[in-house]
Amino acid sequence: MEINKFYFICITVVLLIRFSSGFGMTPAEIMGTYSPGEVRTYSFEVVNTEKQDLDFVILVTGELNQSVSPDEVSFSIPSGVPSKEVTLSFTSPPKLKPGKHSAEITVLQVPKKSSNGGTIVNSLIGLTLRLNIDVPYPGKYAEASLNIADNPDSIYFVIPVFNKGDLGIARSKALIDIYTPLNEKIISLNTGESTIAPGNSVELVATWDTKDKNIPAGRYRAVVAVLYDEESVTVEKEFSVGETLL
């Protein structure tokens, strides 16, 4: 019963605390790979930032919690030891739908006992990292995003394209249409072409030269069509020329 109460308190507190001055943890996120039935190991580091005697427990939650096993569910770091590496075993489930799946691994610092033997609840702190598993889509499948940088004489468009399918992409490029607030298309831009291996990404880049073009200051909209082999994906974003976009 006491153990159940302890874990209830742990879960409640970790939702409120996202960082700790007593210890650190790196990385904050692990990107894993998926192969049905295969067991892979991943590791992270717990850092003793305050050089104290620290005790910890590990909780695993989230969709893939049944597939993740820490090499130890509790451990200690003495004051003279700067850090400790923790290893996780991940067993890929036999069937997962395409897309992103995850588990949250939370490291909780066990509270010290007070002089009268009671637990000091307000000293309970925890940090969480996420183990992400990307399951490939069958065939060719890409996802894209759009970053825009405004410089005095030009606008830079950077389109990261991620191959989330299980087949390689032979040709990928982007067509960028720029619209005014009145939905009038004023220019079209093209990026170069690139191949993308499964699980990899590329950045497609284009530049809009606004110097001496009499481009009025204001807000504009970029509509990007990423063309990859026989497929396409569209993203769009507002940006400003000569003023701050609020």
Is residue 245 predicted with pLDDT exceeding 50? Answer: no
Q: How far apart, in whole angstroms, are the C-alpha atoms of residue 43 and residue 203?
A: 29
In this prediction, residue 110 carries a pLDDT of 87
Q: Which of 71, 76, 74 is nearest to 55 (CA)?
A: 76
Q: How far apart, in whole angstroms, are the C-alpha atoms of residue 162 and residue 143?
A: 5
Tell me what the mean pLDDT of segment 161-172 comes to: 96
Between 140-144, 191-195, 238-242, the lowest mean confidence (pLDDT) is in 238-242
Is residue 15 predicted with pLDDT exceeding 80? Answer: no
Half-sphere exposure of residue 96: CA atoms within 13 angstroms, side-chain side? 22
Is residue 201 predicted with pLDDT exceeding 60? Answer: yes
In this prediction, residue 118 carries a pLDDT of 56
- Whether the Cβ atoms of residue 26 and residue 2 lie closer than 8 Å to each other: no
Is residue 209 predicted with pLDDT exceeding 70? Answer: yes
| Token pair for 161 | 């394209």
Tell me what the mean pLDDT of segment 217-235 comes to: 96
The overall average pLDDT reported for the chain is 86
| Token pair for 2 | 């006491």
In this prediction, residue 19 carries a pLDDT of 42
Q: Categorize the per-residue pLDDT at 13 as very low, low, confident or very high, splitting at 50, 70 and 90.
A: very low
Q: How far apart, in whole angstroms, are the C-alpha atoms of residue 16 and residue 128?
A: 11
CB atoms within 10 A of CB 42: 18
Amino acid 80 reads: G
Tell me what the mean pLDDT of segment 211-226 comes to: 88
Q: What order of strands is seen across the sheet that includes strand 68-70?
A: 24-26, 39-47, 83-91, 68-70
- Whether the Cβ atoms of residue 159 and residue 201 lie closer than 8 Å to each other: no
Is residue 54 predicted with pLDDT exceeding 80? Answer: yes
| Residue 177 phi, psi dihedral angles, 5° rounding | -105, 130
Question: What's the pTM?
Answer: 0.72
In this prediction, residue 68 carries a pLDDT of 97
In this prediction, residue 64 carries a pLDDT of 97
Write out pLDDT tens, residues 63-121.
999 999 999 999 999 999 999 999 999 999 998 999 999 999 999 998 876 656 555 54
